[in-house]
């Protein structure tokens, strides 16, 4: 027990008391409410007694100015659960969208009432008599499609659960691994067919914001909870680090393991891996080019290679593991805004660095992507590079910002150097429907012409695009003269 004179207060900026802020994912684990301001829909990020922060992945025509007062509504399943006049107190743009903070003007949050109303709204939305204004925007054809998807998934769930029940009744176990292997090929075939239909139905909504938002909300209520029984869907939707596509999701794809407590959970995870397979195959393309560059340049001096948005940098670890003792020299600069990702990359590559007799160096640079886009931090200190690549970042950027970043990365190259930019590809089996509508993971999907436009004006020796094995990621290659 401490005496009164031993009790310590806060120091620095922590001296000023702030009411506790609650993460929206903890308060609303099954379905996060939307924050509606004017005609715009935001995703609730966190909330306190007197205000909230919300995220938007879209650029809005009616931009909110700091200091202005607006009508704000927190809605669950299309029903309001809290309404207030609010003042915009902060607004910032990040790679993953805009974040806006509001202070309530005439009301405050009573959390017990908010949670009760949230529950009531979710129950009301399941009533056959409930028809909200937003739900009427969801096309009937899409509703029927979601019913077909849910029926397919639950048919597998029912078979597995009934057979497990019989096995338990007979005091025997059900081999979950064998059950998974029996279901896997058939389910994946059926899933790919539905996936293609989902893309066809939702591409028509791209330019209809209200229809798209209503359809996303419907999907997150009907399909997302079922698929979140798979580990990769659950993390992709929950975004525990606050942004989509964190390094742990990348690791799940690279490891390709059966995750789950039973065969059905393993199947849901496997369906998610099928969607995310292009993450692994694009990494394999980059690893091949790393090998080519190191073997071509890493003799008398180190081959210099930079990765922007490196995540766990599994391609670097894989390259080093397969080229131990080759005698070539290489220096890798891994740039990421997530410190845990850089820690993982450091730990996985350190054994190879240690055993390389100084021929291999790996440095991590913890720099905000937003700062890099603004040109205020990070890249200026790097020497000219033989290879620069960024295969998971430009998907989040507008065409204008992507082109500006492409030029900035191209300027890092030494003569003869190669730039590789990856972006989700426009195709019939793109990741658009499953990622955007089920996982609430917004990306920009681009064509050959879209990406080639980024190379305009670079005076390159050569520029071209290719797709990786699945065809769902397009890679832009730009060679400096």
State pLDDT tens for residues 99-144. 899 999 999 999 999 999 999 988 887 766 565 666 789 999 999 9
Q: pLDDT for 258-304, tens place per residue?
A: 999 999 999 999 999 999 999 999 999 999 999 999 999 988 899 99
Identify the band that residue 40 occupies on the pLDDT scale cut at 50, 70 and 90: confident
Which of 381, 418, 431, 373 is CA-nearest to residue 400? 373
- In angstroms, rounded to a whole number, what is the distance separating the alpha carbons of residues 295 and 124? 63
Residue 404 has pLDDT above 90, yes or no: yes
- In angstroms, rounded to a whole number, what is the distance separating the alpha carbons of residues 391 and 466? 13
- In angstroms, rounded to a whole number, what is the distance separating the alpha carbons of residues 344 and 327? 25
**Do the domains 276-479 and 18-125 match in fold?**
no
Contact in structure between 479 and 461 (CB atoms under 8 Å): yes
Sorted by sequence, the CB contacts under 8 Å of residue 77 that are 6+ apart come out as 31, 121, 122, 124, 125, 132, 217, 221
Predicted local confidence at residue 130, as pLDDT: 60
Which of 53, 49, 51 is CA-nearest to residue 109? 49
- In angstroms, rounded to a whole number, what is the distance separating the alpha carbons of residues 444 and 395? 5
Predicted local confidence at residue 377, as pLDDT: 66
Contact in structure between 268 and 349 (CB atoms under 8 Å): no
pLDDT higher at 151 or 9: 151
Helices then strands, each counted (H, E), the chain: 14, 14
Q: pLDDT for 362-398, tens place per residue?
A: 999 999 888 888 876 678 789 999 999 999 999 999 9
Residue 170 has pLDDT above 90, yes or no: no
Contact in structure between 279 and 232 (CB atoms under 8 Å): no
Burial call 257-295: b when 16+ CB within 10 Å, e when fewer: ebbbebbbbbbbbbbbbbbbbbbbbbbebbbebbbebbe
For the chain, what are the domain ranges?
A: 18-125, 135-274, 276-479
User: 3.55.40.20, 1.20.1740.10, 3.30.70.1280, 2.40.10.220: which CATH number matches 18-125?
Assistant: 2.40.10.220
Identify the top-confidence range among 40-44, 176-180, 285-289, 296-300. 285-289
Predicted local confidence at residue 169, as pLDDT: 56
Q: Which residues pair with 421 in a beta bridge?
A: 390, 476
Cα 86 from chain centroid? 29
Identify the band that residue 62 occupies on the pLDDT scale cut at 50, 70 and 90: low
Question: Considering only the top CATH level, what class is 276-479?
Answer: alpha beta
Contact in structure between 98 and 88 (CB atoms under 8 Å): no
Identify the band that residue 58 occupies on the pLDDT scale cut at 50, 70 and 90: low
pTM: 0.86
Predicted local confidence at residue 133, as pLDDT: 62
Query: Phi, psi at residue 300, to the nearest 5°?
Result: -80, -20
Beta strands in 309-411 (DSSP E): 330-336, 360-366, 385-390
Cα 40 from chain centroid? 22
For all residues of the chain together, what is the average pLDDT? 90
Contact in structure between 300 and 265 (CB atoms under 8 Å): no
Q: pLDDT for 181-232, tens place per residue?
A: 999 999 999 999 999 999 999 998 988 988 998 999 899 999 999 999 999 9
Q: Average pLDDT for residues 23-42, to the nearest whole number?
A: 85
Q: What is the DSSP letter of 362?
A: E
Residue 445 has pLDDT above 70, yes or no: yes
Strands 360-366 and 385-390, by their bridges, are unpaired
Predicted local confidence at residue 362, as pLDDT: 97
Predicted local confidence at residue 172, as pLDDT: 63
- In angstroms, rounded to a whole number, what is the distance separating the alpha carbons of residues 390 and 371? 16
Predicted local confidence at residue 122, as pLDDT: 83
Burial call 176-186: b when 16+ CB within 10 Å, e when fewer: beebbeebbee
**Where does 314-368 have alpha helices with state H?**
314-322, 339-354
| % of the chain exceeding 70 in pLDDT | 91
- In angstroms, rounded to a whole number, what is the distance separating the alpha carbons of residues 247 and 205? 30
Which sign does the torsion angle of CA 330, 335, 341, 342 carry? positive
Query: CB neighbours (10 Å) of residue 461?
Result: 12
Predicted local confidence at residue 165, as pLDDT: 67
pLDDT higher at 47 or 374: 47
Tally of CA atoms within 13 A in the half-sphere of 205 that contains its CB: 22
Max distance between CA atoms of the chain, in angstroms, equals 75
Sorted by sequence, the CB contacts under 8 Å of residue 393 that are 6+ apart come out as 95, 308, 309, 369, 405
Q: What is the DSSP letter of 451?
A: H
Q: Average pLDDT for residues 236-250, to the nearest whole number?
A: 90
**Stated length of the chain:** 481
Contact in structure between 175 and 183 (CB atoms under 8 Å): no
């Amino acid at each position: 027990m401490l005496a009164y004179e031993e009790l310590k207060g806060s120091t620095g900026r922590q001296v000023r008391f702030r009411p506790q802020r609650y993460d929206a994912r903890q308060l609303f684990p099954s379905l996060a409410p939307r924050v509606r301001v004017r005609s715009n829909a935001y995703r609730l990020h966190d909330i306190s007694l007197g205000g909230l922060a919300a995220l938007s992945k879209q650029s809005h025509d009616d931009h909110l100015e700091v200091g202005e007062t607006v009508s704000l509504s927190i809605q669950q399943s299309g029903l309001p659960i809290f309404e207030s006049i609010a003042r915009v107190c902060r607004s910032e743009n990040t790679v993953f969208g805009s974040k806006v903070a509001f202070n309530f003007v005439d009301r405050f949050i009573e959390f017990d009432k908010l949670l009760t109303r949230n529950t009531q709204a979710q129950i009301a939305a399941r009533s056959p008599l409930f028809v909200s204004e937003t739900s009427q925007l969801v096309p009937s054809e899409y509703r029927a499609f979601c019913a077909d998807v849910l029926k397919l998934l639950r048919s597998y769930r029912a078979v597995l659960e009934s057979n497990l029940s019989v096995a338990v009744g007979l005091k025997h176990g059900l081999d979950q691994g064998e059950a998974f292997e029996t279901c896997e090929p058939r389910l994946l075939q059926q899933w790919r067919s539905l996936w293609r239909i989902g893309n066809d139905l939702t591409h028509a909504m791209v330019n209809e914001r209200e229809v798209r938002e209503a359809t996303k909300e419907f999907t997150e209520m009907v399909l997302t909870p079922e698929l979140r029984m798979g580990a990769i869907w659950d993390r992709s939707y929950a975004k525990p680090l606050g942004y989509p596509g964190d390094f742990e999701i990348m690791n799940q794809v690279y490891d390709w393991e059966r995750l789950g407590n039973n065969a059905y959970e393993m199947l849901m995870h496997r369906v998610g891996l099928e969607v995310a397979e292009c993450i692994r195959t694009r990494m394999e393309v980059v690893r091949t080019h790393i090998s080519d560059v190191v073997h071509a340049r890493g003799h008398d001096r180190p081959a210099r290679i930079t990765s922007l948005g490196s995540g766990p940098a599994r391609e670097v670890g894989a390259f080093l593991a397969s080229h131990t003792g080759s005698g070539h020299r290489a220096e890798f600069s891994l740039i990421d805004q997530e410190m845990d990702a850089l820690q993982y990359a450091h730990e996985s590559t350190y054994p190879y660095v240690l055993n390389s007799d100084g021929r291999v160096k790996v440095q991590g640079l913890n720099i905000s992507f937003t700062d890099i886009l603004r040109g205020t931090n990070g890249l200026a200190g790097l020497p000219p590079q033989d290879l620069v690549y960024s295969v998971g970042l430009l998907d989040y950027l507008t065409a204008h910002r992507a082109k500006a970043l492409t030029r900035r990365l191209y300027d890092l190259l030494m003569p003869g150097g190669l730039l590789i930019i990856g972006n989700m590809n426009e195709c019939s089996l793109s990741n658009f429907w499953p990622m955007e509508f089920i996982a609430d993971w917004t990306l920009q999907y681009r064509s050959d012409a879209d990406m080639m436009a980024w190379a305009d004006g670079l005076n390159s020796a050569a520029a071209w695009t290719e797709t990786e094995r699945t065809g769902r990621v397009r890679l832009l290659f730009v060679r400096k003269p």
